[in-house]
Amino acid sequence: MTRSILCFDIGGTSIRAALAIDGQMPGAVTRFDTPARDHAAFLDRLASLAAALPQRPDAIAISLAGVVHPKTGKLIVANIPAIHGTDLKTDLHRQIGIPVHIANDADCFALAEAVFGAGKGHDIVFGVIFGTGVGGGLVSGRRLINTAGGFAGEWGHGPVVPLMAGDTPIPHFACGCGLSGCLDTVAGAPGLERLHTHLHGKNDTARAILSDWQAGETGPARTVEVFLQLVAGPLAMAVNLTGATIVPTGGGLARNHALVAAIDEAVRPLTLSKPAHPLIVPAASGEEPGLAGAAAIGFQAFLPKER
């Protein structure tokens, strides 16, 4: 029996949609603006996409730049007021009448890598994001740990940044989560820029910093050296804690494969397993990991859970 999943990847400014059929990667992608402040318009927009399909999909699966509260099912989505604090799963199901599945975008990335990407063949996959912030998702047996929502894999938060990198003091910068000293403040693209300003007093972009690092310039090389010192220990601890045998990386900074290789070189000796193969690797699930991960979640909902 053919099954189809209507997949959405929802961000604060735009929504991407695609149809996935019979466990395959999603097909052609449609993009449209997010109705960010009107709940009814938000529901109507998604429902209209489902209604426009030649055949009614078996389910809707959503990758979301937010978190599903594991107890209440309500969303924590600061940049989309239309759905923040709402039970989008129930609301959509009532309006469209088919099953709805929602997961955090980092979780969807991790699952996309486990099913379609660099994590194929690995039992435990820890997908990490080095983007605007630092995030992650954890997969075991090709299924998310966060099956009901929640915060597993969010290694970017918690006051773990060392106060010294060698002989260099590192401030505990305030984080948007309400804490200070989170990796999110120094290890995403804005964090790399913040670190560079702290070390050298220069307001360069992350792209310029990495380009100059690869060109051998002294200041950016020091910035990346400190970046690696701050990231390596916590990421190695996360690998030890989860037992992950592969760590695919996504986000803007991870597009620089030289940086990913440098992170891998810094992390592997600090893990208990000390694998001979690359551990921290570039993502391989394509340009739309959010949609791919959403598709995997949707199809898995129709499969019996392994005991």
Domain match, 99 and 194 both: no
pLDDT of residue 303: 67
- The pLDDT value recorded for residue 305 is 62
Domain limits for position 231:
120-282
| Residue 81: CB atoms within 10 Å | 15
Output the domain CATH number for residue 204.
3.30.420.40
Dist. CA 67–CA 214, nearest whole Å: 36
Tens-digit pLDDT profile for residues 39-76: 999 999 999 999 999 999 999 999 998 889 988 989 99
Q: Are residues 38 and 103 in the same domain?
A: yes
Asked if pLDDT for residue 241 goes beyond 60, the answer is yes
Higher pLDDT, 303 or 225: 225
Whether residue 38 is found in the same domain as residue 168: no
Q: How far apart are CA 233 and CA 284, in angstroms?
A: 25
Domain membership of residue 304 (yes or no) is no
Total domains in the fold of the chain: 2
Contact 117, 289 (CB under 8 A): yes
Q: Please report, in angstroms and rounded to a whole number, the separation of the first and last CA atoms in the chain.
A: 24
Q: Is residue 295 part of a domain?
A: no
pLDDT at 307: 38
**Are 258 and 145 found together in one domain?**
yes
Per-residue pLDDT tens digits for 176-215:
888 999 999 999 999 999 999 999 999 999 999 999 999 9
What is the 8-class DSSP label of residue 255? G
pLDDT computed for residue 296 by the predictor: 96
Q: What is the pLDDT of residue 151?
A: 86
- Supply φ then ψ for residue 229, to 5 degrees: -65, -35
Residues 45 and 79 placed together within one structural domain of the fold: yes
- Same structural domain for residues 160 and 223? yes
Q: Is 88 a member of any domain?
A: yes
Domain assignment of residue 288, yes or no = no
14 plus 129 within the same structural domain: no
Quick check: 304 pLDDT over 80?
no
Domain co-membership, 132 together with 52 = no
DSSP H or E stretch at residue 259: helix 257-267
pLDDT in the model for residue 74: 93
Comparing 44-48, 89-93, 95-99, 300-304, which segment has the lowest mean pLDDT?
300-304
Picking from 107, 130, 153, the residue at the C-terminal end of a domain is: 107
In a domain, 306, yes or no: no
pLDDT value at position 66? 87
**For helices 189-200 and 206-214, angle between their N-to-C axes, nearest 10 degrees:** 70
Range in 78-92, 145-159, 170-184, 259-273 with the lowest mean pLDDT: 145-159
Predicted confidence at residue 156, as pLDDT, reads 93
Same domain, 178 and 147: yes
- Is 302 a member of any domain? no
Q: Does one domain contain both 192 and 155?
A: yes
Asked if pLDDT for residue 306 goes beyond 60, the answer is no
The answer to the question of residue 203 being in a domain is yes
Identify whether 126 is part of a domain: yes
Look at residue 257 and tell me whether its pLDDT is greater than 60.
Answer: yes
3-state SS class at 281: strand
